[in-house]
Every structure is written in C-alpha cells, then in structure tokens.
Amino acid sequence: MAEPSIDPTLGPVLARTGDERAVLESFLDFHRGVVLRKLRGLSDAEAARRLVPSVTTVAGLVKHLALVERNWFPALLAPEPGDVYLTSEQDAVLSFTLDEQDTVDGLAEAYERACARSRAVAARFDLDHVVPHPQLGEVSLRWILVHLIEETARHAGHADILRELTDGETGAF
C-alpha cells in the first residue's frame, strides 16, 4: 500500500501518531506559524490598520501573542529576574495597543523570540508538572499547552479574517 501524500509543512498531520507531547507541541507550533504568515507580507500600515471596532489589528494580535507566550511559559513556569506574570484584563487589552516603533519585522522577531523561549522553558518540564497560578490555583504544563493552542488558534482565525479584509489572502499558508 502506498504511503499517503502529506504536505510536509503540516506539523500536526506529521505528528498524528506521535506521543501526546509531540501532538500538543505540533499543533501549537502550527498555529504560531499561521499567525506569522498572516503578518508577513503586510506593510507596517496594513498590519496596523483597524478594520473592526475594537483595537484588534494583525500587528496587535502578534504583539498580544508575544506577551501571552512570555506570560504563560517563562513567567509562570520558570521566572527569571524581571519576569512578571500579568493577571489583569487591562494588561491583556493594552497588549494589543501598538506603539510607533512597532513594525512588522520587529513584531515578528519578538514573537519568534518569545516562542523560542517558551519552547525552551517547556522542554524542561513533564506534561504533568504543576505550578501555582495566581487566579486558577494550580495548572499543569499540559493545561498550559492546551490553553495556548486555543488562544493562538483563536487569534490566528482573527488574523485570517483581518488579512482577508486587507488584501484578500486566505488560508493557513
């Protein structure tokens, strides 16, 4: 029987027979990649353009997701000096707000760095590793990974809609 033909860029498909961690990490990385692909190819002005009543923009989504990565992995699992876990809704809303120095390239690089740091921190712990959480009591690394999949996928969908409204581009690639 012939092997099915699978697009090698589809990490979750390639991990379809992997262990739980491989599956969780591949889905999160897939959605991280989608978010970056939605940002890249836009000018700074296009990425910052507001197309909905909220402050949500493609650039703002990426800026927010970089904060989410820093908040849930390093700040919660392995904080270093200067890492602070942000708990307020105000912090989350402000994380979408762009500054004059925010550019497509700079935001993409910051998000990639945040994701790389998240991967490195997560790799140090078992999925069952539990840490205190200021609002939820305790959370496991497994729960954090699932939460980040949900958060990143939801915002990838937002970015997809905003990108379609900007230049007609749709889809994960």
List pLDDT tens digits, range 115-146. 999 999 999 999 999 999 988 999 999 999 99
pLDDT tens digit string along 85-97? 887 776 777 889 9
Widest Cα–Cα separation across the chain = 57
Residues of the chain with pLDDT under 50: 8
Residue closest to 166 by CA, chosen among 69, 61, 68, 57: 57
d(CA 170, CA 138) in angstroms, rounded, equals 38
Check: CB of residue 135 under 8 Å from CB of residue 86.
Answer: no
Amino acid at the residue 82: G
Domain ranges for the chain = 11-167
**CATH architecture for segment(s) 11-167:** Up-down Bundle (1.20)
Q: What are phi and psi of 135, to 5 degrees?
A: -115, -30
The alpha carbon dihedral of 85, 91, 99, 55 has a sign of: positive
| pLDDT value for 17 | 73
Q: Tell me, rounded to whole angstroms, the distance of Cα 51 from its chain centroid.
A: 21
36: number of Cβ within 10 Å: 18
